[in-house]
Amino acid sequence: MRRLTRYLTRLFASDALILFGIVCFLLWLVNCLRSFDVVSVKGQGFGTLALQALYTMPPLALSFFYICVGIGVVRALTALQASHELHIIHTSNGLGGLWRATVATCCTAVALVLLFAHFVEPLANKQLNRLSAEVAADLVSSTLKPNRFTQVTPGVILLIGGRADGGEITEFFADDRRDPDTRRTYIAASARVVSVGEDYVLELRDGTLQYSEADGRYSEIRFSRYDVSVESLAQQVAQVDVLGETDSFGLIARAIESGWEPNIVKRLLDRSAEGLRVLGLVLLVVAMAGFPSGNRTRFKLPLEALVMLVAFGERGISAYSPLGTGTGAIMLILAGGAILAFRVWPRHPRAVAVAS
């Protein structure tokens, strides 16, 4: 790698990494504050709080990582423009170094974001679900106070009458309202939390399971024993997203074994679209800020704010497009490529008429 390429790559990467680190730390603190009920209500320590906040970071990191890369590149190019180094690069045949630095930064960022999307995020989701189940199991088995309603997760309320020897729970009650169409109520004379491998199961005895539908229908099931997964009660949604906690290698192995289901294909494409976002935003940023300009205006919109607006628009287009989550990223790539081609296209100097 040539000296100019190393210099520009270091500028692009340093600004992006510094911004990414600051945003990650601030979001981790915000997640800690949002999950503070783990300490105050569920009887857990700060270590559990910090770990839970850490496991929620990968999805958030994916949402702003490519924005940090784009802002890092545009800040570096703006600094080069202000110091007139960008002019020197263009007039001294240094464009090759600029393109190589852009490609190196973009390839590294794409590799990192794909690593996060395909492996780190599913692993974090799996660990977060397991930690939530452990917290819920500890809450039910030892921390839950008798004759007091306690919220395990938004939409799930628990109540116990008391505790007996050996961790036995008397007069168990649970109300699950997470599903807007169905309300479930568990009522049992006794209950106990047992571990099955890495999972936790709530054994209910001598009770009823009541269903209330949105249209007013009601049904009741009586049982002598009913097992409920603690993880299913600890989730913020009624159904556990199995694909969300499975890495891409696991999804591909599952597809080869049982067939390429549409939801598996969609999940793999959605994860891969994160790399296209990085490519499209970096290409657009270099096309806008990679060329020197002597224009002076009274009011100039900061390019960092423009990057934020472009990223916001890309997210909106991708979210509502029927063609998939990669639609906005492909539009960024096309727009950046068109602007870049227009700016590097050779132009013939115009003839200047001199009046005699």
pLDDT digits (tens, 9 = 90+) for 262-303: 888 888 988 898 899 999 999 999 888 888 765 555 556 678
316, part of any domain = yes
- Please report, for residues 200, 287, 293, 335, 346, the alpha-carbon distance to residue 342 in angstroms, rounded to integers and kept in the order given: 61, 9, 15, 11, 9
- Alpha-carbon dihedral 25, 27, 29, 31, rounded to 10 degrees: -140
Same domain, 100 and 175: no
What does the alpha-carbon distance between residue 278 and residue 287 come to, in Å, rounded to a whole number? Answer: 14
98, part of any domain = yes
Global pTM value: 0.75
Is pLDDT above 80 for 234?
no
Q: What angle do CA 112, 331, 265 make, to 5 degrees?
A: 60
Same domain, 163 and 285: no
148, part of any domain = no
Q: Could you give the number of structural domains in the chain?
A: 2
Helix (H) or strand (E) segment spanning residue 13: helix 3-34
- Asked if 75 and 15 count as a contact pair (C-beta separation under 8 A), the reply is yes
Indicate the residue among 235, 263, 292 that finishes a domain.
235
Is pLDDT above 50 for 180?
yes
The whole-number pLDDT of residue 25 equals 92
pLDDT tens sequence across 8-48: 888 888 888 999 999 999 989 888 887 776 666 566 677 77
33-47, 49-63, 84-98, 321-335: the lowest-pLDDT one:
33-47
Same domain, 269 and 228: no
The whole-number pLDDT of residue 118 equals 92
Indicate the residue among 235, 263, 291 that finishes a domain.
235
- End-to-end CA gap in the chain: 53
Structural domain for 334, as ranges = 3-133+245-344
